Amino acid sequence: EAQVTQNPRYLITVTGKKLTVTCSQNMNHEYMSWYRQDPGLGLRQIYYSMNVEVTDKGDVPEGYKVSRKEKRNFPLILESPSPNQTSLYFCASSLYLGNTEAFFGQGTRLTVV
Amino acid sequence: DQQVKQNSPSLSVQEGRISILNCDYTNSMFDYFLWYKKYPAEGPTFLISISSIKDKNEDGRFTVFLNKSAKHLSLHIVPSQPGDSAVYFCAASATGNQFYFGTGTSLTVIP
């Protein structure tokens, strides 16, 4: 089954404690991205990757890091989480960047206290 | 600056009637538009798309209309069903660039 898998689904952590949210896709997609969803703000792109070892900032990259060492995986790293990073996070992949649909993971609900 | 706007946070419709969800955009370079549907505790799923060379695209009960001069698109669901109750996001992109999403409209279809 074609899917994007995120882990964990729910996470509560403390300020400053490094964490990683994993994302994996099984569709051999080139393009992957991370979004955060906040009330009244919709989905905002954090980082994206056009292919292995090619990443770039989206609209809200501050406080986040990513890596793309393999085509299927695109982890999101919060080196020193802060309460303003409490949000619902989605990983997405698509065949390429452009006129094509994206497939989303089920989301990770992160709370930073 | 929000390039894609959904001005109605919520919409309630009777089962069997038409649901109309609206979306406005500001960037005239956008040439591809999509609608996604999101249920609670799930990720968004693709619903329907339209290219800027068209003004209408239909898929079963779902039709998307694009008015480029007004920078406006709408999603029509006919007839609406209780299972259509979800949050709907519109998204837009310019060729080769990232997608920008609206803030979402929560649709409730009342049985």
Report whether A32 contacts A97 (CB < 8 A): no
B111's CB contacts (< 8 A; 6+ apart) are: B15, B82
Name chain A contacts of B34, Cβ cutoff 8 Å. 101
Q: What's residue B87's pLDDT? A: 96
Cα-based distances in Å from A43 to A54, B13, B31, B68:
22, 25, 19, 23
Q: What mean pLDDT do residues B24-36 have?
A: 95
- C-beta pairs of B7-12 under 8 Å, 24+ apart in sequence: B8/B105, B9/B103, B9/B104, B9/B105, B9/B106, B10/B105, B10/B106, B10/B107, B10/B108, B11/B105, B11/B106, B11/B107, B11/B108, B12/B107, B12/B108, B12/B109, B12/B110
Question: A106 vs B41: CB contact, 8 Å cut-off?
Answer: yes
Q: For chain B, what percent of residues have pLDDT higher than 70? A: 100
* CA closest to B8 among chain A residues: A40
Peptide bond into B44 cis (omega under 30): no
Mean pLDDT of chain B, nearest integer: 95
DSSP label at residue A73: B
Peptide bond into A8 cis (omega under 30): yes
Q: For chain A, what percent of residues have pLDDT higher than 70? A: 100
Q: What mean pLDDT do residues A101-106 have?
A: 94
Q: How far, in whole angstroms, is CA A62 from its chain's centroid?
A: 13
Report whether A62 contacts A87 (CB < 8 A): no
Q: What's residue A99's pLDDT? A: 75
* CA closest to A36 among chain B residues: B101
Q: How many CB pairs under 8 A join A and B?
A: 56
> What confidence tier does B10 reach under pLDDT thresholds 50, 70, 90?
very high
> What confidence tier does A19 reach under pLDDT thresholds 50, 70, 90?
very high
B6's CB contacts (< 8 A; 6+ apart) are: A42, B21, B22, B23, B24, B88, B89, B90, B102, B103, B104, B105
Distance between B101 CA and the closest CA of chain A, angstroms:
6
Q: What's residue A97's pLDDT? A: 79
Question: A107 vs B41: CB contact, 8 Å cut-off?
Answer: yes
Question: B45 vs A104: CB contact, 8 Å cut-off?
Answer: yes
pLDDT digit string (tens) for A52-103?
999 999 999 999 999 999 999 999 999 999 999 999 999 999 988 777 889 9
Mean pLDDT of chain A, nearest integer: 95
pLDDT of residue B66 exceeding 90: yes
The percent of chain A in helix, strand and coil, each rounded to the nearest 5, is: 5, 50, 45
Which residue in B4, B32, B44 is closest to A99 by CB distance? B32
> Is A98 an interface residue toward B (CB < 8 Å)?
yes
Name chain B contacts of A97, Cβ cutoff 8 Å. 96-98
Q: What mean pLDDT do residues B84-100 have?
A: 91
pLDDT of residue A26 exceeding 90: yes
pLDDT of residue B96 exceeding 80: no
Name chain B contacts of A41, Cβ cutoff 8 Å. 103
pLDDT of residue B28 exceeding 80: yes
